Structure 1
């Protein structure tokens, strides 16, 4: 599966700061020191609706992570998956009278268009669950053969008790885990499971649903969590720097995935930091496909909204905060974009050297994008009120905003 084209990232003078970021597993800030190549895995979409503002906010956050790392003169190895076969996708295809493959391909294509418009840096490896199945099957077989998985009526389940570190990613107790498991695709009430929290690794073929050859597992399709594990282990290995996604993925998805990988390899941790973006709401509720309360990037683009304004609307909120999308949020972003473009269109201006360092400092401090925007606002206000004599300043600001915030002025 191919990703989307990369926009050029301008090189800035000097060097950025190492990133301090909130790690869900420890509950505090950690300073990441990836070495010359930083490794990041971000969980991708299930393509039955793409791309709403919740998606955009999440991927924008991890785009900032990449930009901070690139500014430290590191390379970035970024991997993202597409869950292109799953129950919600199949259910939507039936509801809409579409072929599930056609639905997945169409929504994935739209997602690529949105990511390109928002100038989000693409992954080096963009892998669909279906194409990963040949690598998933041996992992499930290995877990079963080592006693970390078991069969139940043809399905294969992972035994959470096989990983002594189970529970360390989310920090939740068993009762909270059981509740969230039921809400987020698990089946804690299924009779015969060793533990209600045990997640499915391989679903035996169901009538009328797609299935693939699973060798000794029989025909079927993979569970949700093992998909990302297989892709991450194949392309990044154990102990990569950041596992990212929305806050609703901390449990069960990231918890279960970490345990799968740790049981398979005997190593810990799966990722050095688990980083989660907040939820975006609309009309007082989390924006989600199941509720149908979605604001789509593609719809805004079709209505003539500048993608740079959409990106600024996302950047105005700290990535870990839960926030509400309103028309006012977009209006403020459009006004800010206009002020910034007017400021950099002049032939000279106030010195921008300190501004570049302010943006760097803000982003290195747990991706504090609101503070970065405020710094640019102050420079633009000085430009409007006083002007300046530094002929290179507007160009420096334009390049810094592009390189660090992904906004083209």
Structure 2
């Protein structure tokens, strides 16, 4: 069957399913809701509380992102988090190999599980990675606050290089990040996404006009511009992991560092959910069928007053399978969907952890021969290049927040590539 036909079938099925499935929420009555006529100023629009009187149900969903809901993989943390404090689990304790792999980079000092959008600003302020905010650029709040729109309106791109402590406010991620202040239409607030899209390197989808571009502005890999400190999406040659590595190879980037054990120049990848979902070499079936992030993470819901709205409680779809998956997978049943999904995630989870540990062993082995001076320069250069590439591929999947579900075939392909490189490196070491 032609690929175009699958798009038509999927859209029909999704429309029928979502039309019949609705989650009931205790949203306020219409009497408490006022007609939205826009805000008079960006100062007013940056405060999410000010949107509540116009969109009470959506506000209620956003407010629930303060709550953490446990799932086996992903949405509530990794599996080992079951016996730890669910609100803030330390990955460095849970996965000791991270301390080796990220040695020399701030992630080796502090790396906690992700929490909901409600906590985004507080979590970056409280991070143990960079305690001296007086010397850090404000770029770090680029995806943590609604103030981005106001800062850009006042300072243009100059605010990125301003001191963090001078710029940071109290508004976390909220309505203005995805909705216009004058009419509440869906739109992305960060023009670095436009700059990334301008390269024209999307291969699998046409990103123009998609609702999930509001997700793409932050749920992507990125680094900072060397001079302006503005956020840059590494899409100059494409969005696959190989294309992004090519982008990093073209010039040293802000999130690259020389690993103290191997001497290799390595890069820190950041949550490439959008790239994995839409733009892998292995095509994701959900993306191929025309689905977007919002189809699973923002299902349609019906309030107690009977009014339909879009759920704004962004979390794992496995916490509300009835309103997300049942439209297309009703024959599986809720338990069947969860079982299949966790099976997909579990296989990626086990593989990424195993390879993460193998990478740590390789790093320590290279570090040992480097310290002893027992290898010639040509061989050491080869080992360092292997380390660079293997860590890039492994980290691309490790930091992606779906444990492979967004595109499991691509996740396995990339992890297999990382493991093959590590094995190659070990064989080189055996010959030293």
Which structure features the higher share of strand residues? Answer: 1
Which structure features the higher share of helix residues? Answer: 2
What is the TM-score normalised by the length of structure 2? 0.27
